[in-house]
């Protein structure tokens, strides 16, 4: 009241419009107004199941969060683009809002580069306004809403302050009980607000803020889950948008499977949705043309493998090969000497090594190609250094590395769903090391074997990330035997049974074990 009385005395002054706006904001906020909380976990579970198929572990953690009403913890969904983080977060926020009988608000922070958009700007400035959080409270109408903050990793450092620090002050329960908006210039209690965030990566999020978060990682959907999502959600939406009845267009199971395997190798279903929409749009156009012709009967349309390409074009990926234009690079039926398969989060990457020049004392790793970034080049150099030492121990008389100038190539890179190629990552660098040794001993790597693992200069194998994605990549490429570091055993064993089925998995902690598996080496 003291602030309001002081401002009322200024109404007769020249800045009366500014004062009116300020008082309007000050009085419209829901001071001390809170939604009544009645925890309804069953209602939240129903919303999550209706909106999203699968993701059982994610749902369980969210429902546990609701049941305990763990105020002070921020739910943060992390995962690669396209897995539906925003959609899932919106469903979670809606389910929590209903379960706890709270209002819901979505706060977009992507592209924000000034702290003033979060904390407001001083009233003395031109076009001064409160920050986004104050605007959120005004719209929500309560002091304890559920707020979804999307793409927090897209915040940056601008000329007018560090937005990440402003976000820390907004989200940290130890700080936001006295949140100061620069426009209002009074403290606001945000400690009862329940925040949900999404991010592609937790790298770059301040550690104090990250420690306050309940980070839930979304790895992506399995093949069976994508089938269900396509049938239960994507096709229904596409039919509705195109005005097509269920019986008028039939997409066979084989065609849908081919669409997932050969066109849409992704973690999420964003590209799958686009391809299904393309099928139904072309089907609608075909029916309209037939209806306008002299044909009296418009036939129902069936899409299967024989005519799928007529609707969505030629596949980017085919079992056994990557379809590129104009060339087609086949995956090796049997890798020759100098080639090893590494596990990537999207596909199998082949590391090739060949000799450029031979001569006494000319040994070096001279050329590295395949869109290798700096990290990949460092991995290749580690692989080369270790391979030289390892060969010296195994075959002291073999002078291959001392006398051979070599070229190492990461074959093709990862072909994305839009036909572009991502930079190659030397996986481990266990595959790079195996490729070099294969050429040195003139012996091919065993058939249908792929590997991943970080090698130290002493030959120790360290854990890697992306176990789920790399396992799925191996299945897609019909790899039967895979090698993981011992440190990844628990992560692999926790994968769903249908992901692990039929795979022969070996766990190693020394490169010696990889070498024996790859070459059946005789001591």
What is the tens place of the pLDDT at every residue in 35-51? 776 666 777 777 777 77
**Residue 345 burial (C-beta neighbours within 10 Å; 0-12, 13-18, 19+):** buried
Report DSSP letters for 133-163, one per residue.
Answer: HHHHHHHH-SSS-EEEEE-GGG--EETTEEH
pLDDT-derived band of residue 325, with 50, 70 and 90 as boundaries?
very low
Please indicate whether residue 516 or residue 92 has the higher confidence score (pLDDT): 516
% pLDDT > 90, the chain: 20
CATH number, residue 285: 1.10.8.60
CATH number, residue 103: 3.40.50.300
Shared domain for 62 and 208, answered yes or no, is yes
Shared domain for 403 and 363, answered yes or no, is yes
Shared domain for 395 and 455, answered yes or no, is yes
Is 470 catalytic? The answer is: yes
Residue 506 lies in a domain: yes
The CA distances from residue 443 to 125, 193, 440, in Å, are 73, 63, 8
Shared domain for 114 and 50, answered yes or no, is yes
Shared domain for 242 and 370, answered yes or no, is no
Which of 187-191, 438-442, 473-477 is predicted with the least confidence, judged by mean pLDDT?
Answer: 473-477
Residue 322 lies in a domain: no
Last residue of a domain, one of 265, 287, 315: 315
Residue 381 lies in a domain: yes
Strand, helix or coil at 122? coil
Contact 95/43 with Cβ under 8 angstroms?
Answer: yes
pLDDT value of position 58: 75
Shared domain for 212 and 230, answered yes or no, is no
Give the separation between CA 507 and CA 474, rounded to whole angstroms.
16
Shared domain for 42 and 141, answered yes or no, is yes
Residue 44 lies in a domain: yes
Residue 323 lies in a domain: no
Shared domain for 355 and 478, answered yes or no, is yes
Spacing of C-alpha 13 from chain mean position: 55
Give the separation between CA 478 and CA 498, rounded to whole angstroms.
15
Q: Which of 59, 404, 470, 477 is catalytic?
A: 470
Domain that holds residue 299: 223-315
Shared domain for 497 and 382, answered yes or no, is yes
Residue 41 lies in a domain: yes
pLDDT-derived band of residue 276, with 50, 70 and 90 as boundaries?
very high
Residue 181 lies in a domain: yes
Count structural domains, the chain: 4
Task: Tell me how many degrees the CA angle 257-258-263 measures, rounded to the nearest 5.
Answer: 120
pLDDT-derived band of residue 108, with 50, 70 and 90 as boundaries?
confident
Give the separation between CA 458 and CA 475, rounded to whole angstroms.
31
Strand order in the sheet with 348-358: 364-369, 404-410, 348-358, 339-343, 449-451, 481-485, 504-508
Q: Which of 379, 430, 435, 438 is catalytic?
A: 430
Shared domain for 336 and 384, answered yes or no, is yes
Shared domain for 488 and 357, answered yes or no, is yes
Which of 174-183, 330-339, 422-431 is predicted with the least confidence, judged by mean pLDDT?
Answer: 422-431
Give the side-chain half-sphere CA count within 13 A for 71. 13
Shared domain for 62 and 140, answered yes or no, is yes
Beta bridge partners of 148: 106, 196
Last residue of a domain, one of 217, 245, 280: 217
Element holding 436 (H helix, E strand): helix 430-441
Residue 106 lies in a domain: yes
Is 442 catalytic? The answer is: no
Which of 12-16, 57-61, 314-318, 475-479 is predicted with the least confidence, judged by mean pLDDT?
Answer: 12-16
CATH number, residue 390: 3.30.230.10
Last residue of a domain, one of 217, 252, 281: 217
């Amino acid at each position: 009241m003291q602030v309001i009385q002081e401002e009322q005395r200024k109404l007769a002054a020249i800045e009366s419009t500014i004062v009116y706006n300020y008082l309007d904001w000050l009085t419209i906020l829901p001071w001390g107004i809170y939604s009544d909380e009645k925890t309804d976990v069953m209602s939240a579970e129903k919303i999550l199941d209706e909106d999203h198929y699968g993701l059982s572990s994610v749902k369980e953690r969210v429902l546990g969060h609701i049941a305990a009403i763990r105020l002070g913890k921020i739910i943060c969904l992390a995962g690669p683009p396209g897995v539906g983080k925003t959609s899932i977060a919106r469903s979670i926020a809606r389910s929590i809002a209903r379960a706890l009988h709270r209002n819901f608000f979505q706060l977009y922070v992507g592209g924000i580069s000034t702290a003033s958009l979060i904390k407001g700007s001083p009233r003395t400035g031109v076009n001064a306004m409160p920050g986004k959080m104050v605007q959120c409270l005004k719209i929500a109408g309560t002091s304890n809403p559920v707020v979804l903050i999307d793409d927090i990793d897209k915040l940056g450092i601008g000329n007018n302050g560090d937005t990440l620090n402003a976000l820390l002050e907004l989200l940290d329960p130890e700080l936001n009980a006295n949140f100061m908006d620069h426009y209002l210039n009074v403290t606001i209690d945000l400690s009862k607000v329940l925040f949900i965030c999404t991010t592609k990566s937790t790298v770059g999020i301040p550690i104090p803020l990250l420690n306050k978060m309940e980070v839930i990682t979304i790895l992506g959907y399995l093949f069976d889950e994508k089938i269900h999502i396509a049938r239960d959600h994507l096709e229904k939406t596409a039919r509705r948008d195109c005005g097509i009845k269920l019986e008028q267009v039939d997409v066979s199971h084989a065609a849908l499977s081919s669409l997932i395997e050969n066109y849409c190798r992704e973690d999420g279903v964003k590209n799958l949705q686009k391809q299904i929409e393309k099928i139904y749009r072309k089907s609608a156009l075909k029916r309209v043309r037939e209806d306008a012709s002299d044909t009296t009967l418009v036939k129902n349309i069936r899409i299967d493998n024989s005519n799928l390409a007529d609707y969505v074009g030629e596949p980017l990926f085919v079992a056994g090969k990557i379809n590129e234009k104009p060339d087609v690079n086949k995956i090796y039926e049997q890798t020759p000497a100098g080639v090893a398969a590494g596990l990537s989060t999207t596909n199998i990457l082949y590391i090739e090594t060949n000799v450029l020049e031979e001569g006494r004392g000319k040994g070096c790793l001279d050329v590295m190609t395949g869109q290798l970034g700096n990290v990949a080049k460092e991995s290749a150099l580690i692989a080369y250094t270790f391979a030289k030492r390892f060969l010296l121990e195994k075959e002291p008389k073999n002078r291959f590395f001392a006398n051979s100038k070599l070229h190492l190539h990461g074959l093709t890179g990862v072909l994305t769903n839009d036909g572009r190629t991502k930079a190659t990552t030397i996986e481990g660098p266990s595959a790079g090391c195996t490729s070099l040794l294969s050429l040195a001993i003139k012996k091919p790597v065993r058939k249908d074997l792929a590997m991943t693992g970080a090698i130290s200069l002493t030959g120790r194998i360290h854990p890697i990330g992306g176990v789920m994605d790399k396992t799925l990549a191996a299945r897609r490429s019909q790899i039967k035997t895979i090698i993981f570091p011992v440190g990844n055993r628990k992560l692999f064993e926790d994968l769903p049974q249908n992901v692990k089925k039929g795979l022969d998995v070996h766990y190693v902690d020394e490169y010696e074990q990889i070498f024996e598996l790859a070459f059946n080496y005789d001591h």
